[in-house]
Structures are given as structure tokens and as C-alpha cells.
Amino acid sequence: MLDKKVKQRIINKYKTHENDTGSSQVQIALLTEEIKQLSEHLNQHKQDHSSRRGLLRKVNERRKLLKYLQKEDEASFKDVATKLKLKIGKKMIEDEEEKQRREAAELAAAQQRAADREESEEEATSSEE
């Protein structure tokens, strides 16, 4: 559980407008801080399985929010991921870039096939004449 002062400091740092307390950016930042605290707790108390379960739920919730934010607003997603130094954010960015590269390669290949088809059709029509 976060201290009120710590929570307010995080909200002030990541808010998108004056009265913002629940935007995706704020929720991700708060979950990240809670995850850090739970990780430290679990390093000291290795047998605390209920806290471990809570940690996994928070990590999963943060991942879902990151995925949503990436889909809705790519710029703020990258901003939050870099500010919080999230590994999963870097991985999601790399995956998205890889997907775009593959799509561009597939598009180029499709265009090349279409050009080759047109060329072969032109050769077939010119040989008939």
C-alpha cells in the first residue's frame, strides 16, 4: 500500500490534466511503484505467497494498461515507458516496430509480384502480335 504523500507525488508527476487521478499514465505509474514495493517485500519474505499473488495481479494489470495505452496513444505510451524505465515497454515497442517492418516487407513483396505479373502480361501480349 502506497503512502498518501508518495501516491500524490506520483499523481502530480504523471497527470495529464489538472484533476487527473485515473488516466492510464497515472494508473501505470502507481502500479509500478506498488510493484517495486512488493518486490522488495518479497525479497525479504520469500514464503509470503499471498503477496506474490498480489504482485502477479498488479504486473498483469499494468501490462494490460500498457497494451491499451500503446493502442490508443503511442506517444504517451513511449513517454511513460521511458520515464518509468519499463522493460516490458521496451519489449512492446520493439515488437510493434518488428511488426511494422514485416508488414512493410510483405507490402514490398506484394508490389514486386504485381509488377512482375504486369511485365509478364505485357510480354505475352507483345509476343502474340
pLDDT value for 31: 95
> What is the DSSP secondary-structure string of 20-81?
-SSSHHHHHHHHHHHHHHHHHHHHH-TT-HHHHHHHHHHHHHHHHHHHHHHHH-HHHHHHHH
Amino acid at 99: K
User: Is 84 a residue whose pLDDT tops 80?
Assistant: yes
The predicted-structure confidence for 13-48, as pLDDT tens digits, reads as follows: 999 889 888 899 999 999 999 999 999 999 999 999
- Burial of 42 by CB count in 10 Å (0-12 exposed, 13-18 middle, 19+ buried)? middle
Buried b (16+ CB within 10 A) or exposed e, 115-126: eeeeeeeeeeee
3-state secondary structure of 16: coil
Whether pTM exceeds 0.85:
no
- DSSP classification of residue 3: -
Mean pLDDT of 49-67: 95
As a whole-number percent, the residues of the chain with pLDDT over 70 amount to 98
Closest CA to 61 of 35, 87, 39, 82: 35
Mean pLDDT of 55-59: 96
